[in-house]
Structure 1
Amino acid sequence: MAATLTSDVEIHELRAQLQATAWRHIVVLTGAGISVASGLPTYRGPGGLWTRPDIEEVPDAAMLARDPARIWTLFGPLRGSILTAAPNPAHLALADWEARSPETTSFTLLTQNVDGLHGRAGSRNIVELHGALLRTRCCNPACTLSPFEDTAEHPAPPLCTVCGQPLRPDITLFDEPLPVDAEWAAKKALRECELFLAIGTSGTVAPASNFVRGAKYAGARTLLVNLTPMQPRHPDFDIEVLGRAERVLPLLLGAAS
Structure 2
Amino acid sequence: MKAINFSHYRKIVVLTGAGVSVASGIRPFRGKGGLWNEINPIEYADSSLLKTNPRAIWQLDGALRKQLATAQPNVAHIKLAQFEAKLSPDKQFTLITQNIDGLHQLAGSSNVIEIHGNVCRTRCSNPTCNLTAYLDSNPYDDVLPICQICSSPLRPDIVLFGEHLPVKEEWLTKRALRDCDLFIAIGTSGTVYPASGFVRSADYAGARTILINLEPMEPKNPYFKEEYLGAAEEIVPLLFGATS
Please tell me the TM-score bracket, short chain as reference.
over 0.9
> Are 2:53 and 1:67 equivalent residues in the alignment?
yes
Q: TM-score, normalised by structure 2?
A: 0.95
Contact in 1 for aligned 2:44/2:60 (Cα 8 Å):
no
Match of 2:193 among 206, 229, 237: 206
User: Deviation string for 1:216-247 (max 9, x for gaps)?
Assistant: 01110000000000111100001000001001
Are residues 189 and 55 of structure 1, via their aligned partners in 2, closer, same or farther at CA, if it must alter by over 3 Å? closer
> Are 2:140 and 1:161 equivalent residues in the alignment?
no
Per the TM alignment, residue 206 of structure 1 is displaced from its structure 2 partner at its CA by: 1.2
Cα separation, 1, equivalents of 2:79 and 2:6: 18
Are residues 164 and 57 of structure 1, via their aligned partners in 2, closer, same or farther at CA, if it must alter by over 3 Å? closer
**1:125-204 alignment, distance < 5 Å:** 125-155=111-141, 156-204=143-191
Match of 2:13 among 13, 17, 27: 27
* SS of residue in 1 equivalent to 2:8: coil
Cα separation, 2, equivalents of 1:225 and 1:160: 41
Per the TM alignment, residue 198 of structure 1 is displaced from its structure 2 partner at its CA by: 0.2
Are residues 121 and 202 of structure 1, via their aligned partners in 2, closer, same or farther at CA, if it must alter by over 3 Å? same
Cα separation, 1, equivalents of 2:9 and 2:120: 34
Per the TM alignment, residue 56 of structure 1 is displaced from its structure 2 partner at its CA by: 6.5
Match of 2:63 in 1: 77
> Are 2:222 and 1:235 equivalent residues in the alignment?
yes
Match of 1:37 in 2: 23
Contact in 2 for aligned 1:157/1:168 (Cα 8 Å):
no
Q: Which runs of 4+ in 1 moved over 2 A?
A: 53-58
* SS of residue in 2 equivalent to 1:26: strand
Per the TM alignment, residue 20 of structure 1 is displaced from its structure 2 partner at its CA by: 5.8
Per the TM alignment, residue 64 of structure 1 is displaced from its structure 2 partner at its CA by: 2.4
Q: Which moved more, 1:35-44 or 1:50-59?
A: 50-59
Gaps of 5+ in 1: 1-10
Percent identity of equivalent pairs:
53
* SS of residue in 2 equivalent to 1:189: helix
Gaps of 5+ in 2: none
* SS of residue in 2 equivalent to 1:235: coil
CA RMSD of the aligned region, Å?
Answer: 1.4
> Are 2:89 and 1:103 equivalent residues in the alignment?
yes
Contact in 1 for aligned 2:42/2:161 (Cα 8 Å):
no
Counterpart of 1:158, as a letter, is P
Per the TM alignment, residue 57 of structure 1 is displaced from its structure 2 partner at its CA by: 4.1
* SS of residue in 2 equivalent to 1:133: strand
Match of 1:250 in 2: 237
> Are 2:55 and 1:94 equivalent residues in the alignment?
no
Q: TM-score, normalised by structure 1?
A: 0.91
Contact in 2 for aligned 1:58/1:174 (Cα 8 Å):
no
